[in-house]
Chains A and B, each alone.
Chain A
């Protein structure tokens, strides 16, 4: 049986306004043990920011994390999936677009995020790799 994104995704994604600071997003990442924050503007999904993005787009550029807004550094033009899309569709997307995290959107509202780690667990729940991938993040 092919499982759907709704079965694989991490639900209740962290959503923050595009005017919030990078520091606020970093705190949310630490407190919730996540690497992705969805960026909202006018009630819609505007972009996505990861811990890696903060490193290369803020710290590497010597920008002040307290003064930099998420709008200025997030990735836009996101590839998204529907909760009813299946595993194969997600694999196709990560291959073609080289994305590691995919927002799951239902009726215009983000309801989850699927990461490469989630897909690894789904592909082979018993492998050593998925075990390490499921390990708690650094705090």
Chain B
């Protein structure tokens, strides 16, 4: 049986408001053990921001944790339907050079799927899957 995106995704989308501070976004990533959060603006999905984005788009530009996170996010998101096979998610990541996709279910954002999630689903016994399951740095 083909594995579906909903089977491997991280459910319950984690988001921050466009006007939240960079520090708040970083704490959200830390507390949930994730590397990316969705950014919501005026109650609609605006974009996605990763831990790396905070570093290369803010810290490298001498911005501190007090500044708003919204402008750092990537808009024009590529989403994947929860009922798609994971092969489709892999294809989307490869074609768009992204490592994370918001998962859409019944018109709503239902979660997020990462390269690590697919890696684990692809071959749960592999050494690399073990790594990707390891606890994030804190």
List residues of A whose CB falls within 8 A of some B CB.
22-23, 26-27, 29-30, 35, 50-56, 58-66, 75, 91, 94-95, 98, 100, 116, 119-120, 123, 127-129, 131-133, 135-139
B119 on the A face (CB < 8 A): yes
Residues A55 and B131 in contact, CB atoms below 8 Å apart: no
Nearest residue, chain A, Cβ from B127 = A91
The CA of A26 and the CA of B118, in the complex, are separated in Å by 29
Number of A-B contacts (CB under 8 A): 133
List of B residues within 8 angstroms of A123 by Cβ:
126-128
Q: A30-B56, A64-B64, A132-B97 are in contact. Are A55 and B115 (CB under 8 A)?
A: no
Binds A, one of B3-11, B20-28, B77-85: B20-28
**A51–B56 contact, CB under 8 A?**
yes
**How far is A62 from B65 in the complex, measured between Cα atoms in Å?**
6
Q: Given known contacts A58-B59, A60-B29, A137-B52, is B127 in contact with A94 (CB within 8 Å)? A: yes
Quote the shortest CB–CB distance from B2 to chain A (angstroms). 15
**Contact flags B112-138 to A (C-beta < 8 A → 1, else 0):** 000100110010001110111011111
Closest Cβ–Cβ distance, residue B16 to chain A (whole Å)? 12
Residues of A within 8 A of B68 (CB): none
The number of chain B residues touching the other chain, given as a range, is 35 or more
Contacts of A129 in B (CB 8 A): 90, 115, 118-119, 122, 128
Which residues from A are CB-within-8-Å of B94? 128, 131-132
Contact partners of B59 in chain A: CB under 8 A: 22-23, 26, 54, 58-59, 65
CB distance from A30 to the nearest CB of B (A): 4
- Chain B residues contacting A136 (CB-CB under 8 Å) are 97
Tell me whether A63 and B65 are in contact (CB under 8 A).
Answer: yes
A66 and B66 CA atoms in complex are apart in Å by: 13
B29 pairs with A116, CB closer than 8 A: no
The answer to whether A30 and B60 touch (CB under 8 A), given A56-B29, A62-B23, is: yes
A120 touches B29 (CB 8 A): no
Please tell me which one of the listed residues A35, A61, A63, A135 contacts residue B52 in the complex, with CB atoms under 8 A apart: A35
- B99 close to chain A: CB less than 8 A: yes
